[in-house]
A and B are shown apart, each in its own frame.
Chain A
Amino acid sequence: GAVVSQHPSWVICKSGTSVKIECRSLDFQATTMFWYRQFPKQSLMLMATSNEGSKATYEQGVEKDKFLINHASLTLSTLTVTSAHPEDSSFYICSARAMGGKLFFGSGTQLSVL
């Protein structure tokens, strides 16, 4: 079945550094990818919708200059958390929409900012 690969699975970084998270659709082309954030015991919160070859659409309250999204190809989207701070510590997960609308999720990235 279709697989979405997300890397890294976890990352620890110092405050002020930038962290890049990759999301790849391995055996299908994803014209649309979604980036979510999840706090412990809470539901997923959509951060942005990423369309191949165009600028991402950010949800209200999500800083586009802080959470840079690039969807350079039909199989790869990246989320870069710039100048990370402890409050950015969270679980980030991507999903990709395949033809027909079915969604496939990455395994998530646990970010801890010290």
Chain B
Amino acid sequence: DIVMTQTPLSSPVTLGQPASISCRSSQSLVHSNGNTYLSWLQQRPGQPPRVLIYKISNRFSGVPDRFSGSGAGTDFTLKISRVEAEDVGVYYCMQTTQFPLTFGGGTKVEIK
């Protein structure tokens, strides 16, 4: 199974300041078709998950451009350029390259 490791566990951020979350996979997420199926999800308190980023760096419809994804192979990063109050929640990376599908343990973003 591909293990997804996220850091940090928690990220206290000042409003308007940037935040960065790292996700490392135990093996390459490059699919045989050449795509890398790494997504970032946001889960606000009491809400279901919501897709922010798919295939490493593609923003899903309606996602603000302050969210960006980058990386390749086994190392990936989600950045929030300027944190807003509505960004509070838990962020997960998820790989869908290989079964079983697996998630990172989550990073809690909170306001200082």
- Does B bind A? no
B interface list, Cβ under 8 A from A: none
